[in-house]
Amino acid sequence: MTTVASDSALLAEFMLEVEEALGAADTILDAMVQRAASPEDVRALFRLFHRIKGGAGLVGRTEVGTSAHAVESLLDRARRGAALEVDEVRAGVATIRRLLGSAPASPSADADASVPAMAVQPTTKPMTKIEMSRIDDVVEILGELLIAQAQVTGAPEVAALQSPELAKSMMRLARINRELQRSVLRMRTVPLRALFDRLGRAAADLARRTGKELAFVQEGGATEIDRSMLETLEPALLHLLRNAVDHGIEHAGQRIATGKPSVGRITVAARQDGSSIVVTIADDGRGFAREGILARARAIGALDGDVAPRNSKIDELVFLPGLSTADCVTDISGRGVGMDVVLREVSLLRGRMHVTSIAGSGTTIAIALPLTLALLDVVMVSRAGTRWAIPAPSIVEVATGADVVPVHTPTQRGAKVRGEWLPLVRLGEEDPVATTSSVVVLRGGRARVALPIDEVVAQQQVIVKGLPRHVAIDPRVSAAAVLPDGSLVLVIDVEAVARQAS
């Protein structure tokens, strides 16, 4: 049973986040006094009100969610070319602020009836939030410190000194720096457990509203993610959760008739995969109705009538704008934001979405996000005079000499590595993979591939930063890091490389 104390903390956090979002909206609206609204202004406002709507649903403040949805719909029309009614957006901001200052007269139908309704001010639970810009400043200084430490440690004059005391001091300095790194990075990242808990509450509410029996499972809640990603990830996962309950999970009678347990199951999980955070939401429901998806895709002109794509390609069609196979729009799913908008918002974070569906067994949707800021163990390799960083957790082994035998097929270059044939991947178009004798075997998802290298340079910890959107051109690169000599090294996106090779 949910306790009043936990509800109070959750509501306090929600109200603080809403006030921050409304403050950001005020800033954008004030700027519009001096200039016309840009498409980015409209998109930013849309994200803010979508975030408010999603959070309101998680804490049972449906009246706030309804008001946020009204403004969101207004902004959605503006995104599609209509004139932006700034006064109406300001009125929506005022309405939400007014609602935040009042308590519902009785427990909401969408809230846990065992918890009495109450107005909770942000001061109910003391909270301190450090401005992200200040954390970024500290991280920049930390990066300079790491570079300076490596330069001192690697200096020939220092290496020539045979001093046990100096060696002990250098080891102590390295240990202190590692602790400092972890402490600073913890300031920037937050575990996903709190978000998963909120999704669990939303799942319980959705089960009551739909009359379905549902078990919610969370895995990997200790996985940490950059704070700045939460405002996009939370509403995206909430939308996917609503879809899973409303369209995926069957009613108990239907499940029993098909040999399933009466209780449906939704699992939200997170893990770090190399230089990416992968968050998945899976259900054991009915799966996609592919015939309906194909019919709808043809109806909106997104697919030729005589085209018969593979099942995996059909599943990807759900991300098309305007594609919906629902018989009717409900207040649970299908409102405001579709799968195409979820994909677009994830793409703004340089993330990727992948969907897998099995008829009668369920659907899994994975969101892979880059580590915009993280301490990562990497193996530095060189190939054709260029250095690359490979996330150490993605490396299976390094093989060389007689253990690597190039074996190419008519359609793909590959090599037998200790007797197992693996596709060879290239990081450059001019890479002469046909003559390679050393490879790094990588695991990306369920695929294994071999990456030709000239040598392994070093293994070290680096602070990894996501590349700006206008720089992240190559999908095989997920991030970058500055080395002690001041040079920039690119971090390989192992999952993207494996997917490309496969």
Residue 437 has pLDDT above 70, yes or no: yes
**Per-residue pLDDT at 119 exceeds 50:** no
Check if the beta carbon of residue 384 is closer than 8 Å to that of residue 428.
Answer: yes
pLDDT at 30: 82
Mean residue pLDDT of the chain comes to 78
Q: Does residue 365 register a pLDDT over 90?
A: yes
Q: Read off the pLDDT of residues 251-272 as tens digits, 9 standing for 90 and up.
A: 999 999 999 999 999 999 999 8
Residue that wins the pLDDT comparison between 120 and 156: 156
Confidence grade of residue 466 (pLDDT, cut at 50, 70, 90) = low
| pLDDT interval class at 24 (50, 70, 90) | confident
pLDDT at position 415: 85
Beta-ladder partners of 444: 447
Burial 263-275 (b: 16+ CB within 10 A, else e): ebbbbbbbebbbb
pLDDT for the residue 5: 37
Lowest mean pLDDT among 65-69, 424-428, 446-450: 424-428
CA distances (Å), origin 398, targets 37, 401, 450, 455? 54, 11, 9, 10
Lowest mean pLDDT among 66-80, 167-181, 471-485: 471-485
Identify the weakest region by mean pLDDT among 408-412, 463-467, 469-473.
Answer: 469-473
pLDDT for residue 269 = 96
Give the percent of the chain with pLDDT over 90. Answer: 13
The two tokens of residue 125 are 């639970």
Residue 41: phi and psi, rounded to 5, are -60, -45
Which one has a higher pLDDT value, 264 or 298? 264
| pLDDT value at 114 more than 60 | no
pLDDT at 103: 46
Measured between alpha carbons, how far is 455 from 439 in angstroms, rounded to an integer? 9
- Which is higher by pLDDT, 362 or 310? 362
Strand partners, 379: 390, 459
Tens of pLDDT, residues 230-247: 878 888 898 899 989 988
Contact 362, 356 (CB under 8 A): no
Whether residue 374 has pLDDT greater than 70: no
Token pair, residue 178, equals 């590692």
Q: What is the mean pLDDT of residues 69-96?
A: 88
**Percentage of the chain surpassing pLDDT 70?**
80
Mean pLDDT of 156-185: 84
Rounded to two decimals, what is the model's pTM?
0.60
